[in-house]
Amino acid sequence: MTDIIYRGYPNDRRASRFAAVTTNLGEVFLPETAPFPVVSSRIRWRDTLLSLRSREYQWYAAGLVFASIGGWFARIATDWLVLELTHDVAMVGLVIAVQLLPPTVFGAWGGVISDWIAPKTMLVLTQLAFAVLYVWLGLLVGTGSAEKFWILVISVLIGFVSCIEGPSRAVLTYQAVGVRMLPNAISLNAVLPQLGGILGTVFVGVVMSVFGIKAAVFVAALCLLVSAVSVARIHTARLEVRPNTKPGMGHIRDALRYVIRKPSIVLSLLMISVLSVSGLQASVLNAWMADSKFHTGAAGYSLFATLGTIGALIGGVLSARRRRISVFDNAVMLGVSGLIWLSCGLTPWLAPFLGGLLISGVLRMLFLVGNDTLTQLSSNAAIRGRIVALYLTVVTGGQVLGSVLMGWMVSELGADVTFVITGVVPLVVAVAICLFLWNRSRRLGRESMHLLE
Do 150 and 85 meet the contact criterion of CB atoms below 8 Å apart? no
Does residue 243 fall inside a structural domain?
yes
pLDDT attached to residue 16: 37
- How much is the average pLDDT of 77-97? 79
In this structure, is residue 4 part of a structural domain? no
Asked which of 60-69, 86-95, 313-322 is least confident by mean pLDDT, the reply is: 86-95
User: Would you say 175 and 239 are in contact if contact means Cβ atoms under 8 Å apart?
Assistant: yes
pLDDT in tens, 157-189: 999 999 999 999 988 998 999 887 888 888 888
Domain membership of residue 367 (yes or no) is: yes
As for how many domains the chain has, the answer is: 1
Q: Which domain holds residue 107?
A: 45-449
Q: Is the pLDDT of residue 44 over 70?
A: no
Domain annotation covers residue 385? yes
Q: Which pLDDT band, with edges at 50, 70 and 90, does 23 fall under?
A: very low
Question: What is the reported pLDDT for 389?
Answer: 87
DSSP assignment of 140-166: HHHTT---HHHHHHHHHHHHHHHHHHH
Does residue 138 fall inside a structural domain?
yes
Q: How many CB atoms lie within 10 A of CB 20?
A: 13
> Which of 380, 422, 373 lies closest to 187 in space, CA to CA?
373
Q: Is residue 2 part of a domain?
A: no
Check pLDDT > 60 for residue 400: yes
Long-range (24+ apart) CB contacts under 8 A made by 282-285 are 282/308, 284/403, 284/406, 284/407, 284/410, 285/345, 285/406, 285/415, 285/418, 285/419, 285/422
Residue 449 in this model has a pLDDT that exceeds 80:
no
- According to the model, what pLDDT value does residue 43 have? 64
CATH number at residue 78: 1.20.1250.20
- Distant-in-sequence, close-in-space partners of 190: CB < 8 Å, separation ≥ 6: 312, 315, 316, 319, 365, 368, 369, 372
With cut-offs at 50, 70 and 90, classify the pLDDT of residue 138.
Answer: very high
In a domain, 134, yes or no: yes
Question: Is residue 28 domain-resident?
Answer: no
Give whole-number Cα distances, 172 to 84, 239, 371, 389, 446, in Å.
39, 8, 18, 14, 35
Q: Exposure pattern of 369-380 as b/e (b: 16+ CB <10 Å)?
A: bbbbbbbbbbbb
Q: How do residues 244-290 score in pLDDT, each as one tens digit?
A: 565 554 577 888 888 988 888 999 999 999 999 887 767 678 777 88
Mean of the per-residue pLDDT values of the chain: 82
